[in-house]
Every structure is written in structure tokens, then in C-alpha cells.
């Protein structure tokens, strides 16, 4: 069997399985466990009941598979949240070093860009980045980058004509592109360009 055909079949099977689990979960929420039938799931999924039986023998098997998937997703989310907390501690340590605001900002942005580069987005990463812990971490990071910018502006090291919050948002938006770069040298150049935009106006 050609590889492309084989991959197409696998993708189709995966799609049917995922659609079945989603349909079963929705029906369970609407009608309760005892009211969900294979016919309802097949209709909601948009496949024939005979096809559904090729994947799952009964409703209990579907719900068991759904429960396993939910557990795996919860474990992955918890792991990712721990990773994010570790990154935030690393960035906070750089922020708190005994250096000028510009030097500390450069260290924070460089490390943040490398984190983006080393954790390039895939389907799983994109899903994990939608969690509430990411929104909180991003808000916290934007806040302390803004504080560094304000400190640097007060010392004449960074530009003061744009609000620190706007410049912090600019930095994070610019460095989000580090995930698509092909080398650490390119990441360093991106950070340098970003920092250059924060220089005080002549």
C-alpha cells in the first residue's frame, strides 16, 4: 500500500475517532449517561452506525476512550504549566540581577526568544498555549518587561516617548517570531533588532 494512501487512511481513522469522542461527550452532557445510544453518537458524528461499530463495540468503550484522552490532556496541561512556571522563574532571576535596566532587559528578551525558538509550535504546542496559565504568565511577563522599560527610560537608557506597556507588548510580539527561525544566531539578530527599536531618540 503506498505510504501516502496509508497516511490518508490513518488520518481518516483518527478524524472519525476524534469526532466520535466529541459527539459522545456532547451527548453525555446533554442527556446523561443512560440516555446516550450508539445511534445518537453515529448520527451526531455523521457516520453510519455500522461504521461506528468498527471503531467501538458500545457506548461504554467510547466513554472509556474519551475518559483516557481527557486524563492524558490533563496530564499534558499540568506538565506544560510546570514548564511555564520554570521559564518564568528563569526570566524573573534575570530581571533581578544587579545590572542596568537595559542589560537586564536584554538578558530577559534574549532568554525569552530562545525559549520561543526551542519550543517551536506544533499542533500540541498550540493547544497547550491556549490554557489559562499561559494568559496569566504572558500578563505577568508583559508587566515586568514594562517595569524594566520604565526603569530604563527613567535612567535615559531606553526611549521614553512610548508607554512602557506598549513597548513591552511590542517586544513580546516581535520575539514571538523566534519560533520560526532556523538558528540561534538568527534569534540573537532578532533580539538585537528589537532592542534597537527601544533606544532613546536622539
Residue 64 falls within a domain, yes or no? no
Residue 63 falls within a domain, yes or no? no
88 shares a domain with 159: yes
pTM over 0.75: no
169 shares a domain with 87: yes
Task: Give the number of other Cβ atoms within 10 Å of residue 109's Cβ.
Answer: 25
Quote the CA–CA distance of 185 and 200 in Å, as a whole number. 25
Find the helix packing angle between 59-95 and 101-118, rounded to 10°.
150
Q: Specify the DSSP class assigned to residue 155.
A: T
Expressed as residue numbers, the domain containing 47 is 3-57
171 shares a domain with 91: yes
Residue 30 falls within a domain, yes or no? yes
Is residue 15 over pLDDT 90? no
137 shares a domain with 86: yes
Is residue 124 over pLDDT 60? no
Amino acid 121: pLDDT: 53
101 shares a domain with 171: yes
Residue 7 falls within a domain, yes or no? yes
- Total number of domains constituting the chain: 2
For 38, the grid coordinates are: 450508539
Between 196 and 180, the higher pLDDT residue: 196
Quote the CA–CA distance of 124 and 73 in Å, as a whole number. 10
Residue 82 falls within a domain, yes or no? yes
Is residue 57 over pLDDT 60? yes
189 shares a domain with 114: yes
100 shares a domain with 181: yes
Amino acid at each position: 500500500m503506498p505510504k501516502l494512501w496509508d497516511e490518508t487512511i490513518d488520518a481518516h481513522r483518527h478524524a472519525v475517532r476524534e469526532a466520535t469522542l466529541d459527539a459522545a461527550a456532547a451527548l453525555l452532557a446533554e442527556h446523561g449517561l443512560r440516555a446516550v445510544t450508539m445511534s445518537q453518537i453515529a448520527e451526531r458524528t455523521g457516520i453510519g452506525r455500522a461504521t461506528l461499530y468498527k471503531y467501538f463495540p458500545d457506548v461504554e468503550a467510547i466513554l472509556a476512550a474519551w475518559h483516557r484522552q481527557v486524563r492524558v490532556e490533563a496530564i499534558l496541561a499540568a506538565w506544560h504549566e510546570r514548564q511555564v512556571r520554570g521559564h518564568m522563574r528563569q526570566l524573573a532571576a534575570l530581571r533581578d540581577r544587579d545590572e542596568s535596566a537595559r542589560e537586564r532587559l536584554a538578558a530577559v528578551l534574549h532568554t525569552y526568544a530562545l525559549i520561543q525558538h526551542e519550543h517551536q509550535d506544533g499542533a500540541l504546542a498550540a493547544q497547550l498555549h491556549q490554557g489559562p496559565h499561559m494568559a496569566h504568565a504572558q500578563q505577568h511577563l508583559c508587566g515586568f518587561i514594562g517595569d524594566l522599560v520604565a526603569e530604563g527610560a527613567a535612567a535615559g537608557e531606553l526611549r521614553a516617548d512610548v508607554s512602557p506597556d506598549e513597548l513591552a507588548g511590542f517586544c513580546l510580539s516581535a520575539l514571538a517570531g523566534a519560533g520560526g527561525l532556523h538558528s540561534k544566531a538568527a534569534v540573537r539578530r532578532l533580539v538585537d533588532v528589537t532592542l534597537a527599536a527601544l533606544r532613546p531618540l536622539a
